[in-house]
C-alpha cells in the first residue's frame, strides 16, 4: 500500500470518528446549545491530549513542546528516578496542562504532586456543584461522580487559587490546581460516570474551559 493511500485511509478514519463523536453529542445536547461550542471540541479532534510515557521524559529537556492541548500519563511513578521526576515537574511548572480524568488516574498520579495536593476517598456523600462555568446548563441530579460502593475520590489538600467545580463539603471532586505556570486539571469520576444524562454537556463545558474558550452561558440567556 502506498504512502498516499495510507494517508487517505487515515484521514477518512479520523473524519469518521469525528462524525461519530458529533452525532453522539446530538443525542444528548440540544442543537441550539451544541452549535455554541468550538467545532473541534464537538468533533472530538480537540482537546489534543498526548500521553507521556517514561521514555518521553528525558527528551523533554531538549524538546519541551510536544503540541498537545493537555497531557496525561502512562507510567509507574515508582519507576521514576529523582532526575526524571525533576524534569517532568519542571516541564509542567513551565506552563503545561495535565489532565487527571477519573479516580484511577488521580489515585495513581496525584502523589507526584504531594507537595501541593493530597488525595483521599469518601463514601455515601452528596457531591455539590459550584457556580463555575463548567456547570452551566447542567442538572446535578443528572451527573454521577461515584464509583463502586458509592465511593468518591477527592482532594483533601490543595493550594490557594484552586478552581473548584464540584465538591463534597470542603473537599474538591473536580477542578484545577495551579502549579506555577502550569495547571493540573482533575475530575474525580468513578465507574458510573456514563450513567449521568448530563455528562456530555458537562464534558463539553470542561473541555471548552480547559482550552481557555468561553463556555456557553445558562440556557435562559442564550435564546
For residue 219, what pLDDT is reported?
A: 67
- pLDDT score recorded for residue 62: 96
The predicted pLDDT at position 150 comes to: 73
Q: SS3 breakdown of the chain: % helix, strand, coil, rounded to 5?
A: 40, 25, 35
pTM: 0.87
Q: What average pLDDT does this structure show over 18-36?
A: 77
Element (H, E) at 20: helix 3-26
pLDDT at 8: 41
pLDDT tens per residue across span 142-190: 999 888 777 888 999 999 999 999 998 889 999 999 999 999 999 999 8
Q: DSSP assignment, residue 214?
A: P
Looking at residue 79, what is its pLDDT? 97
Check pLDDT > 70 for residue 9.
no
Q: How far apart (Å, rounded) are the C-alpha atoms in residues 179 and 176?
A: 9
Predicted pLDDT at 19:
45
Q: Predicted confidence band at 17 (pLDDT cuts at 50, 70, 90)? A: very low
Residue 133: predicted pLDDT: 96
CATH 3.10.50 given to domain 3-221: no
* Tens digit of each residue's pLDDT (9 = 90 or more) over 88-122: 999 999 999 999 999 999 999 999 999 999 999 87
Tell me the per-residue pLDDT of 37-65, one tens digit each, with 9 for 90 and over: 999 999 999 999 999 999 999 999 999 99
**E strand or H helix at 178, and its extent?**
strand 171-179
Between 32 and 123, where is the model more confident? Answer: 32
Tell me the residue ranges of DSSP E strands in 47-88. Answer: 49-53, 70-74
pLDDT tens column, 187-211: 999 889 988 999 999 999 999 999 9
CA dist 156 to 9, 119, 163, 173, 194, Å? 47, 6, 14, 9, 25
What pLDDT shows up at residue 86?
97
Are 49 and 101 contacting, i.e. CB atoms less than 8 angstroms apart? no
The answer to whether 153 touches 190, Cβ cutoff 8 Å, is: yes
Q: Which residue has the cell 455554541?
A: 36
Q: Which three cell numbers stand for residue 129?
A: 456543584
Amino acid at each position: 500500500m502506498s504512502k498516499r493511500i495510507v494517508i487517505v485511509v487515515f484521514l477518512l478514519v479520523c473524519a469518521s470518528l469525528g462524525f461519530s463523536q458529533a452525532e453522539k453529542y446530538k443525542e444528548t445536547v440540544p442543537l441550539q446549545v451544541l452549535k455554541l461550542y468550538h467545532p473541534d471540541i464537538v468533533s472530538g479532534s480537540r482537546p489534543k491530549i498526548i500521553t507521556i510515557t517514561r521514555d518521553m521524559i528525558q527528551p523533554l529537556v531538549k524538546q519541551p513542546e510536544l503540541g498537545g492541548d493537555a497531557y496525561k500519563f502512562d507510567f509507574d511513578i515508582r519507576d521514576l528516578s529523582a532526575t526524571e521526576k525533576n524534569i517532568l515537574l519542571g516541564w509542567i511548572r513551565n506552563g503545561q496542562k495535565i489532565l487527571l480524568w477519573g479516580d484511577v488516574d488521580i489515585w495513581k498520579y496525584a502523589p507526584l504532586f504531594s507537595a501541593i495536593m493530597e488525595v483521599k476517598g469518601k463514601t455515601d456523600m452528596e457531591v455539590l456543584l459550584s457556580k463555575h462555568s463548567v456547570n452551566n446548563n447542567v442538572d446535578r441530579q443528572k451527573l454521577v461522580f461515584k464509583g463502586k460502593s458509592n465511593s468518591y475520590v477527592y482532594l483533601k489538600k490543595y493550594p490557594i487559587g484552586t478552581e473548584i467545580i464540584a465538591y463534597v463539603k470542603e473537599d474538591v471532586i473536580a477542578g484545577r490546581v495551579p502549579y506555577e505556570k502550569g495547571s493540573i486539571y482533575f475530575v474525580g469520576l468513578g465507574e458510573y460516570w456514563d450513567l449521568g444524562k448530563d455528562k456530555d454537556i458537562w464534558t463539553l463545558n470542561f473541555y471548552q474551559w480547559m482550552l481557555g474558550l468561553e463556555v456557553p452561558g445558562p440556557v435562559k440567556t442564550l435564546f
